[in-house]
Amino acid sequence: MREEVYNGKLSTGSRTYFFDVKKASTGNLYLDITESRKKDDGSFERHNIMIFPEGIEQFKEEILKIFYQYFKE
């Protein structure tokens, strides 16, 4: 069973992003990012990615690089 350690939510227009830090049965933490988007028929389309400890630092660095290069005003 996975224990939830942290839950965050970000709503942007028609999309909602959920950021969940979970603890696996092995005790290792991982980041689960889910995008939820309401479709025209009223149902929701969901996509998620899981970032595990061995990749979290590289993931952070890549996001920061993109942010500072393209989105920081």
Task: For 49-61, give the secondary structure using H, E and C.
Answer: EEECHHHHHHHHH
> Tokens 């990615």 belong to which residue?
49
* Span 16-57, pLDDT tens digits: 999 999 999 899 999 999 999 999 998 999 999 999 999 999
* Span 56-66, pLDDT tens digits: 999 999 999 99
**Cβ of 2: how many Cβ atoms within 10 Å?**
11
Q: In this structure, which amino acid lies at residue 57?
A: E
CA–CA gap between residue 26 and residue 7 (Å, rounded): 20
Q: Which of 3.30.70.20, 3.50.30.40, 3.10.450.700, 2.60.40.1170 would CATH assign to domain 3-71?
A: 3.10.450.700
